[in-house]
Amino acid sequence: MSNAKAQMATSLSKYSPDIARQFRTARTSLRRLFPRGYELVYDTYNGLGCGFSPTLRSSDIVVSVLAYPGWVTLFFFEGRGLDDPEGLLQGSGARIRSLRLQPFTLLRSKAVGALLEQAIDDVKPQLATAPRLSAVLKSVSPRQRARQTSKRGAGIVEPRRRPRAA
């Protein structure tokens, strides 16, 4: 098992079964769209993410999927320039737009499919010359938020904090 796959398995075991299943499903869907290139894996403070890129550079990521404790989100790294007639994309940054997959069935909608197709069209020439898709572990944050919501549903369970040395 590669480092990236092992890290994903370890990290996903910390999520609720429902969020882990949604992340796996979204990841599988994106892998089908990217038979070539790189799946860049990041286990960050906030969540587990996989970005799909024609190169090993994070700046070339086209789309990514990120698991948070209570939902899964798609990110479009050139989302600002996408035609979004349904108004699904959120964000106001210079480039990136996101789409929270709630309900999760949104992933299979025609509107999301059209957004993904647009995003991929821009990099098709680069993807055509890229190697077969492989997963690469890019980073693992030493500190991470809890990966499940509290049992009462009151939000994210914060990790215990160690007192600072005097």
Q: What is the pLDDT of residues 61-117, one digit of tens each?
A: 999 999 999 999 999 999 999 999 999 999 998 999 999 999 999 999 999 999 999
Terminal Cα-to-Cα distance of the chain (whole angstroms): 43
Q: Is residue 85 part of a domain?
A: yes
pLDDT band per the 50, 70, 90 thresholds, residue 147:
confident
User: Could you tell me the residue range of the domain that residue 53 belongs to?
Assistant: 3-140
Q: What is the mean pLDDT of the chain?
A: 88
Is residue 3's pLDDT more than 60? yes
Mean pLDDT of 157-164: 45
Do the domain assignments include residue 92?
A: yes
Please report whether residue 66 resides in a domain: yes
- What is the count of structural domains for the chain? 1
Task: Tell me, yes or no, whether 145 lies in a domain.
Answer: no
In a domain, 128, yes or no: yes
Band of the pLDDT at 139, cuts 50, 70, 90?
confident
Q: Specify if 124 maps to a domain.
A: yes
State the pLDDT confidence band at 156, using cuts at 50, 70 and 90.
Answer: very low
What band does 151 get if pLDDT is binned at 50, 70 and 90?
low
In a domain, 151, yes or no: no
Greater confidence, 28 or 154?
28
C-alpha distance from residue 80 to each of 90, 93, 105, 115 (Å) = 9, 8, 23, 11
3-state secondary structure of 129: helix
Strands 134-140 and 38-43 turn out to be parallel
Degrees, nearest 5: CA angle 116-47-92: 50
